[in-house]
Amino acid sequence: MTHVPYETLRWVGGVDGHLVLLDQTLLPLQEQELECTSVDDVWGAIRRLSVRGAPAIGIAAAYGVVLGLQQATHDVGRFQQALKSTLEYLATSRPTAVNLFWALDRLRDRAAAMVGNHSGSEIHAALLEEARAIHAEDRAMCRAIGQNGAEFLQDGMGVLTHCNAGSLATSEYGTALAVIYTAQDQGKQLDVFVDETRPLLQGARLTTWELMRHGIATTLICDSMAAQVMREGRIGAVITGADRIAANGDVANKIGTYGVAQLARAHGIPFYVAAPSSTFDLRIATGDAIPIEQRPGEEITHGLGRQTAPDGVGVYNPAFDVTPAELIAALITERGVITPVSENRIRRTLGAGD
């Protein structure tokens, strides 16, 4: 992989340190870092999408917990209260990506195992260690996803992706884009088509930016062009990431993904989803129970830097949709490929039992 001179997020210093993010709201025009020195900064960065993408949200939130406890380590009672309120607060930042709750649960469990026989400072240090572990594990998971999925992409293939499931959405290598990067590392030349991904243009602003930095042939299309591009025979596979995967394999991902999956089915093109085990929510039976984030109408009426709809128009702006498992050719995880998609295979591959 070509050297990438940017980091989606990094922790600077020890327990009293801070989080630095590449501010994704400014891409592709400005590569500017954002310093988060408080839990409020992290909450706002997640809500505003300065940091976004399911795994990156989880990592940022984990570091956010460390920030939220920096003033509270001296008194044990105060520490426990601060931990509880910090976890609850960060959980309100965005509702759909389960990686956020998965990361917060890990920190909660780590602290719970220490309360009673450790000081606040010791627990605080352990939580930083846990956040760093989540960050490092994500790197390894993304690499493994790339290795497991690359077999589905052949030299010369056209591949369509939606939203951004790349380096910017994770610790380093991405999920859907890790598959593309790994195929490229194996010497395969791919033609990657990128849906612009209205309303916030993660495809146009972020995915094209990072694919081009990786030297991948990249073509941007409007979301409404996907059917035509498929009909013209330009697409051999579709691959996206996921924000939450239910026990039956239904996938919540960026709004528009469901439509792309339907189009892929109609054109006989395999539709793949790449995601780490931290994106599965086996407590949820089907996609119907996945909470879908609703975002402000201004993202649609003023999305391109100027007003593009009349004052007072009604707007519906769900940020995610659910693709039914039956439309998904395979779920590509760090623990293996799940195909055909079924609850049994998901549980077996993730080692989660029945």
Nearer to ligand MRU, 31 or 75 (CB): 31
| 53 touches ligand MRU by CB under 6 A | yes
Nearer to ligand MRU, 128 or 255 (CB): 255
User: How far from the centroid of its chain's Cα atoms is residue 92's Cα?
Assistant: 17
Give, as ranges, the residues between 150 and 169 that touch ligand MRU (CB under 6 A): 163, 165, 169
| 50 touches ligand MRU by CB under 6 A | no
Nearer to ligand MRU, 137 or 243 (CB): 243
Measure the CA–CA gap between 320 and 180, rounded to whole angstroms: 23
Measure the CA–CA gap between 45 and 23, rounded to whole angstroms: 8
| 243 touches ligand MRU by CB under 6 A | yes
| 349 touches ligand MRU by CB under 6 A | no
Q: Which of 184, 202, 248, 301 binds ligand MRU (CB under 6 A)?
A: 202
Residue 86 near residue 64, CB atoms below 8 Å: yes
Least Cβ distance, residue 139 to ligand MRU (angstroms): 13
Q: Which of 43, 45, 50, 52 binds ligand MRU (CB under 6 A)?
A: 52
Backbone φ and ψ of 12, nearest 5°: -115, 125
Catalytic residue, candidates 138, 243, 281, 321: 243
Strand order in the sheet with 320-323: 280-281, 244-246, 251-254, 320-323
DSSP H helical ranges for 91-192: 98-112, 120-149, 176-185
Comparing every residue's Cβ against ligand MRU, the nearest one is 241
Nearer to ligand MRU, 17 or 28 (CB): 28
3-state class (DSSP) for residue 47: helix
243 as an active site residue: the answer is yes
> By C-alpha distance, which of 15, 31, 53 is closest to 197?
53
Q: Which of 42, 54, 330, 332 binds ligand MRU (CB under 6 A)?
A: 54
| 278 touches ligand MRU by CB under 6 A | no
Nearer to ligand MRU, 79 or 320 (CB): 320
| 241 touches ligand MRU by CB under 6 A | yes
Task: Give me the count of residues in the chain.
Answer: 354
Sequence-ordered list of residues with C-beta below 8 angstroms from that of 215, at least 6 positions apart, any chain: 2, 184
Q: How many secondary structure helices (H) and strands (E) does the chain include?
A: 12, 14
Nearer to ligand MRU, 87 or 242 (CB): 242
| 93 touches ligand MRU by CB under 6 A | no
Sequence-ordered list of residues with C-beta below 8 angstroms from that of 306, at least 6 positions apart, any chain: none
Least Cβ distance, residue 223 to ligand MRU (angstroms): 13
Q: Which of 319, 337, 338, 346 binds ligand MRU (CB under 6 A)?
A: 319
**DSSP 8-class letter at 293:** P
Beta-ladder partners of 191: 158, 217
Measure the CA–CA gap between 260 and 153, rounded to whole angstroms: 18
| 138 touches ligand MRU by CB under 6 A | no
Question: Judged by CB under 6 A, how many residues of this single chain contact ligand MRU?
Answer: 19
Least Cβ distance, residue 286 to ligand MRU (angstroms): 19
Measure the CA–CA gap between 106 and 231, rounded to whole angstroms: 45
Helix (H) or strand (E) holding 34: strand 33-36
Q: Which of 218, 253, 323, 349 binds ligand MRU (CB under 6 A)?
A: 253
> By C-alpha distance, which of 258, 50, 271, 245 is closest to 159?
271
Sequence-ordered list of residues with C-beta below 8 angstroms from that of 151, at least 6 positions apart, any chain: none
Q: Which of 242, 251, 263, 322 binds ligand MRU (CB under 6 A)?
A: 242
Nearer to ligand MRU, 196 or 243 (CB): 243
Q: Which of 254, 322, 333, 338 binds ligand MRU (CB under 6 A)?
A: 254
Q: Quick one: tokens of 28?
A: 């592709």
Any idea which residues carry the catalytic annotation? 243
In the complex, which residues of this chain contact ligand MRU (CB under 6 A)? 49, 52-55, 97, 163, 165, 169-170, 175, 202, 240-243, 253-254, 319
